[in-house]
């Protein structure tokens, strides 16, 4: 027997965390972006509206979760996913063997909340969110939302099994140029404030004069300061720093989960642009993902040209909108 509740209190939202982790581990479409280590800090940092999260229980077990909030406006209230904008993938979480029943319960429960439009974006193509249906709701056809270029990884750490030969030659030249500049050092970093400070510094250096980048916003910095240590504690983050002659010139922030590596954010010192430190770090991250038996290296949202040079192919997320019938 399933029961549901609306969570509109941030304290209760936080208190879901231990149950949430268990559910996240049992959900087929879970990524780091749906974990409590990501979404609970997101709400603490931004809280842009009124929580309206649906929790579904079977006995004492959390078996479904739709982290949502209400954004009120003159044209009515929109129901939106917690984590919107900074998250490359979003979805409802549901235990695999009862996913259909959980999705139905979430749809029924959310109809009791006052909203005029319900929007779910950044849905993977296998997402539970795409299956939502209810007689009291009118749904638009799923629309393509964003491209996430993905590289199918294979072979060994030479990258010969998955990265085009031209990019491998460029990578060798970049490493040679960096070594001519000074001693090259690649180091794994803990997901802590020290790493985040380096990432913020180098991300700003990369984007200065071009809008400052996403980390220019103090609220975003605060969010990552809360989230990164929690993700690291659960073994999800992969952080790398590249130094030349003792000077840290590039940073890489990514994730690894269920055979997939994710390249989330990076930064580099433009004074070392000719040595391509960003490319050196990406090549290293791909090689490390192969060592960890990843099947895919996901460059995440955005169609920047460099991603395709590595051999990535677009995989599209979806958006779906419901209104009252």
Domain boundaries, the chain: 2-146+317-324, 154-294
Architecture of domain 2-146+317-324: 3-Layer(aba) Sandwich (3.40)
Q: What is the pLDDT of residue 275?
A: 96
Q: By 3-state DSSP, what share of the chain in percent is helix, strand and coil, each rounded to 5? A: 40, 30, 30
Chain centroid to CA 51: how far? 21
Q: Is the pLDDT of residue 141 over 80?
A: yes
This prediction's pTM: 0.96
Q: Is the pLDDT of residue 95 over 80?
A: yes
Q: Is the pLDDT of residue 113 over 80?
A: yes
pLDDT (tens digit, 9 = 90+) per residue, 213-261?
A: 999 999 999 999 999 999 999 999 999 999 999 999 999 999 999 999 9
If we measure between CA atoms, which residue out of 88, 21, 93, 13 comes closest to residue 47?
Answer: 13
As a whole number, the mean pLDDT across the chain is 96
Q: What is the pLDDT of residue 209?
A: 81
In the chain, DSSP finds a helix count (H) and a strand count (E) of 9, 16
Q: What is the pLDDT of residue 212?
A: 82
Q: What is the pLDDT of residue 185?
A: 97
213 Rama sector, left if φ>0, alpha if ψ -120 to 50, beta otherwise: left
Q: What is the pLDDT of residue 301?
A: 97
CATH class as words, domain 154-294:
alpha beta
Q: What is the pLDDT of residue 70?
A: 98
Residue 280 CB contacts under 8 Å (≥ 6 apart), including other chains? 171, 174, 175, 178, 184, 186, 242, 250
- Confirm whether 2-146+317-324 and 154-294 share one CATH topology: yes
Backbone angles phi, psi at 63, to 5 degrees: -115, -5
Q: Is the pLDDT of residue 267 over 80?
A: yes
Q: Is the pLDDT of residue 180 over 90?
A: yes
Q: How confident is the model at residue 325 (pLDDT cuts 50, 70, 90)?
A: confident
Q: How confident is the model at residue 122 (pLDDT cuts 50, 70, 90)?
A: very high
Q: What is the pLDDT of residue 211?
A: 81
* Tokens describing residue 148: 């996430």
Mean pLDDT in residue range 269-298: 97
Q: What is the pLDDT of residue 237?
A: 98
Q: What percent of the chain shows pLDDT beyond 70?
A: 100
């Amino acid at each position: 027997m399933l029961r549901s509740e609306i969570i509109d209190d941030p304290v209760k939202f936080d208190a879901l965390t231990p149950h949430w982790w268990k559910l996240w581990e049992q959900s087929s479409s879970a990524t780091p972006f749906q974990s409590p280590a990501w979404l609970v800090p997101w709400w603490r940092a931004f809280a842009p509206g009124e929580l309206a999260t649906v929790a579904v229980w079977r006995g004492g077990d959390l078996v479904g979760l739709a982290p949502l909030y209400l954004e009120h406006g003159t044209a009515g209230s929109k129901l939106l996913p917690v984590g919107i904008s900074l998250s490359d993938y979003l979805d409802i979480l549901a235990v695999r063997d009862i996913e259909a029943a959980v999705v139905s319960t979430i749809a029924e429960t959310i109809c009791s909340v006052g909203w005029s439009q319900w929007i779910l974006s950044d849905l993977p193509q296998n997402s539970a969110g795409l299956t939502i249906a209810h007689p009291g709701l009118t749904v638009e056809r799923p629309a393509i939302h964003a491209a996430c270029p993905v590289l199918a990884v294979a072979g060994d750490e030479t990258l010969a099994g998955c990265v085009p030969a031209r990019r491998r030659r460029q990578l060798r030249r970049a490493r040679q140029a960096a070594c001519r500049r000074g001693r090259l050092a690649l180091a794994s970093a803990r997901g802590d404030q020290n790493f985040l400070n380096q990432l913020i510094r180098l991300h700003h250096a990369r984007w200065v004069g071009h809008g400052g980048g996403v980390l220019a916003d103090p609220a975003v910095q605060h969010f990552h300061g809360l989230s990164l240590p929690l993700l690291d504690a659960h073994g999800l983050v992969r952080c790398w720093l590249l130094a030349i002659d003792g000077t840290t010139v590039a940073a890489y922030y990514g994730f690894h989960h269920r055979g997939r590596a994710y390249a989330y954010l990076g930064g580099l010192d433009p004074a070392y642009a000719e040595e391509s430190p960003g490319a050196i770090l990406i090549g290293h991250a791909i090689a490390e993902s192969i060592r960890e038996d990843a099947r895919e290296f996901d460059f995440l949202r955005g169609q920047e040209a460099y991603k395709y040079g590595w051999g990535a192919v677009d995989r599209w997320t979806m958006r779906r909108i419901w209104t009252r019938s």
